[in-house]
Amino acid sequence: MTPSAALSLVVASSGLLLGGLLWLMGRAAGWPVLGRGAAVVTAAALYCACNVVITLPVTDATVVVASQLNMFFAGLHILAWTRFLPVHDGRAPASWELWLGRAAVVASALSLVPGLLFDGVFTARVAWLDMDQHCGQSTLVGDAVMVGLTLALLLLMVDRVLRRGQVAYGRTYAAAMGTVFVAGVWDTSVTLGWLQQPFILDLAMLVVVAAVARTMMGQVAHTTRSLERLRADLEQAVRERTRQLEDARDALVASETLAALGRVAAGVAHEINNPLAAIRGNLEFLDMTLTDQTVPPHERQEALRDTVGSVDRIARVVRSLMDAGRRSGRAPVDVGAVRLLDCVEHALAAASTVAAPNVDTTVQVPDALVVEGDQGVLVQILSNLLVNARQAMRRDGVTRGTVHVVARQVDAWVQVDVVDDGPGIPQQVQKRLFEPFFTTRDPGDGTGLGLAVANGLAHALGARLTLAHTGAGGTTMRLTLRAAAPVPAPSLLPLLPGTRKRLLVVDDEPAVLRALQRVLSPRHDVTLSATVEDGLRHALGGAVDVILCDVMMPDGGAQQFYTQLQSTRPDLLERLVFITGGATNDATAAFLRRAGRPVLEKPVDPAALSRVVDASGPPSLTQDQGHPAHVPVH
């Protein structure tokens, strides 16, 4: 194989490979400039492929046909340039470029006419290479077409030179086309017999292939970098937009929270102010009639009962607010076996305070059903569900209907359904059913805490509260509890009549200390301390059967008291009972769980207090052992 044939083969193969690659990349990425560049290098490669045929030992007729194809692909090469450059520059093709492309198409078409451009074979001897070159002998028309295509390439080159400072790679394309122009003039001179040198247009076509490859790969790299910058900008924009959305969401949450606080404030104010008014009126009545012998005793007793009832009503409202903190199950709840029917009966009694004379209630709860839970918590959940069911049956200002309480055991679970025959719950309300402070009632007619508190308490017990059904025929709220073994009969070991215990009460509120002293001193010996330090002094220095300690105090409260006892007198820990107005943070709630001691919530019910005191501490000492009944507040 001659050097010319090898060069033609290299240019043809590399050009076809690059053209195919650019064409595929252009289709995949949607970049038309790559497809136009593929046409430029493919036409150059096919031109060189025809030269490979000419170098082979073939007939004269084959040489003429190959020369015709040479001219055909040369015209297509000029056409490809006129289509590629405008797209590369990002502009519409100029009119002269369109006419130039049409002329190139005509030249290509003429080259296919037998005998029009070539009528024989021309052989040129290159002595210094000891090589003969063959090509078609051009006619006058063929010479004119070659000159025209050469001038067309010159015109494109001049345009690139003029645009070199305005478009990308202008100098590169001008240099490539200049190389082809010079090579074309050289080969024409060889064909006319003016030069006895080898053809070099294939070498110039290699320059074209390299130039297009360089510029296209450079453009791909530039576009890739641009896309990377765009991606980074988009990510930054998304992050910024996300931050703005988060800020807007936080602002919306804060706004909704304030609105919810406003709604609950109205409801709580109504719920608390009414019993406060009754308490103040009753206390003023008692103060004015304390020495008035004309007022019947039963009226004073009635005023006292109303006052206690009002205090209990306020306590229930406050406890409902505190129970909202148990929604995540963080508040300490003691779980044990509880007879379900007892809880339902207590819940019915608690819910009876809601005036609903036209509402009937039916109960279908087997007497033997026992569940895991806490009776007080279950009563709170069920009473909330009953109150909610009664209020859900209000139509046109009138409440009427029937509430059914149905319980059944399903495998290891007990399902308690509270069913009303009200109008059902709208779809948009169902999404917010357990949301704290959300209510569809009028301001002052509810706090929106009933179902939210019930749901939180259910989670605290390891139970589930769900909306089982709702529609035009009514609503079913379902409480699912774990079934438990039957409750054994309690061991009745009452304290001996007249038995007294030595109590230590630690609280920083003097009024609370005095109230507890009044309640406890008739049956027990009571020592009062207003600080943790003084309480520890009494506990460590004297005989104490039961210690009642407030949880929240300025000097550390129950946690400090418990820690000191644990390190000095751990035997006294079993005599400790906590009294709290509410665990105000997670750390306090966690401490109460770890300590595992009884917890009484303020305001303390005297009967409950007496039961806890009777059940706590070691065996009681009798009064005749000489312990004083009252000790002043320290």
Nearest to 512, CA basis, from 612, 601, 411:
601
CATH of the domain spanning 3-230: 1.20.1070.10
pLDDT number for residue 320: 60
If one counts every other C-beta atom within 10 angstroms of the C-beta of residue 198, the result is 20
Taking the C-alpha atoms of residue 35 and residue 343, their distance in angstroms, rounded to an integer, is 82
As given in the structure block, the two tokens for residue 534 are 């003084």
pLDDT number for residue 79: 94
As given in the structure block, the two tokens for residue 565 are 């006892």
Instruction: Judge whether 81 and 160 are in contact, CB under 8 Å.
Output: no
Q: Mean pLDDT across the stretch 74-82?
A: 93
Residues 64, 142, 116, 68, CA torsion sign = positive
Q: Mean pLDDT across the stretch 296-315?
A: 81
Residue 155 phi/psi, 5-degree rounding, is: -65, -40
The β-bridge relationship of strands 336-339 and 474-482 is unpaired
pLDDT number for residue 442: 55
Taking the C-alpha atoms of residue 237 and residue 254, their distance in angstroms, rounded to an integer, is 25
Average pLDDT, the chain: 80
pLDDT number for residue 564: 92
pLDDT number for residue 479: 93
Taking the C-alpha atoms of residue 72 and residue 107, their distance in angstroms, rounded to an integer, is 7
> For 154-202, what is each residue's pLDDT tens digit?
898 888 888 877 777 888 888 888 898 898 888 888 877 788 888 888 8
Give me the DSSP letters along 451-470. HHHHHHHHHHTT-EEEEEEE
Q: Mean pLDDT across the stretch 483-510?
A: 68
Strand segments (E) across 368-443: 370-373, 394-395, 398-399, 401-410, 413-420
List, in order, residues 6 or more apart from 48 with CB less than 8 Å away.
7, 8, 9, 11, 12, 15, 202, 205
Cα atoms in the Cβ-side hemisphere of radius 13 Å centred on 95: 0
pLDDT number for residue 633: 33
Decide if pLDDT at 497 tops 60.
Answer: no
Cα atoms in the Cβ-side hemisphere of radius 13 Å centred on 79: 17
CATH of the domain spanning 336-482: 3.30.565.10
How distant, in Å, are the alpha carbons of 168, 172, 348, 498 from that of 206?
21, 14, 98, 119
Cα atoms in the Cβ-side hemisphere of radius 13 Å centred on 540: 15
Task: Please identify which residue in the block is written with the tokens 């019947």.
Answer: 296
As given in the structure block, the two tokens for residue 379 are 């009563």
Cα atoms in the Cβ-side hemisphere of radius 13 Å centred on 14: 17
Instruction: Judge whether 456 and 326 are in contact, CB under 8 Å.
Output: yes
How distant, in Å, are the alpha carbons of 125, 138, 184, 196, 596 from that of 191?
11, 8, 10, 9, 110
Q: Report which listed range, 99-103, 259-263, 374-378, 513-517, is most confident.
A: 99-103
Delimit the CATH 3.30.565.10 region(s) of the chain. 336-482
Helix (H) or strand (E) holding 548, with range, is strand 546-550
As given in the structure block, the two tokens for residue 487 are 């409750």
List, in order, residues 6 or more apart from 578 with CB less than 8 Å away.
549, 550, 551, 558, 592, 595, 597, 598, 599, 600
In this predicted structure, which of 199-208, 351-360, 566-575, 587-596 has the lowest mean pLDDT? 351-360
Decide if pLDDT at 542 tops 70.
Answer: yes
CATH of the domain spanning 502-625: 3.40.50.2300
- Cα 544 to chain centroid distance, Å, stands at 55
Give strand pairing partners of 137.
Answer: 120
> DSSP 3-state assignment of 395?
strand
Give strand pairing partners of 529.
Answer: 506
Give strand pairing partners of 408.
Answer: 415
Model confidence at 30, pLDDT cuts 50, 70, 90, reads low
| Terminal C-alpha separation, the chain | 120
pLDDT number for residue 331: 47
If one counts every other C-beta atom within 10 angstroms of the C-beta of residue 131, the result is 15
Amino acid at 233: D
Decide if pLDDT at 492 tops 50.
Answer: no
Decide if pLDDT at 451 tops 60.
Answer: yes
Model confidence at 83, pLDDT cuts 50, 70, 90, reads very high
pLDDT number for residue 624: 38
pLDDT number for residue 474: 84
As given in the structure block, the two tokens for residue 313 are 């009503």
Model confidence at 620, pLDDT cuts 50, 70, 90, reads very low
Taking the C-alpha atoms of residue 277 and residue 529, their distance in angstroms, rounded to an integer, is 33
Taking the C-alpha atoms of residue 37 and residue 465, their distance in angstroms, rounded to an integer, is 70
pLDDT number for residue 287: 82
Delimit the CATH 3.40.50.2300 region(s) of the chain. 502-625
Taking the C-alpha atoms of residue 358 and residue 590, their distance in angstroms, rounded to an integer, is 45
pLDDT number for residue 436: 65
Decide if pLDDT at 353 tops 90.
Answer: no
Decide if pLDDT at 313 tops 60.
Answer: yes
Q: Report which listed range, 330-334, 398-402, 470-474, 522-526, is most confident.
A: 522-526
With a pLDDT cut of 90, the percent of the chain lying above it is 19
DSSP H stretches of helix in 486-568: 510-520, 532-541, 557-568
How distant, in Å, are the alpha carbons of 1, 2, 53, 246 from that of 57?
11, 12, 8, 79
Q: Mean pLDDT across the stretch 572-578?
A: 90
With a pLDDT cut of 70, the percent of the chain lying above it is 83
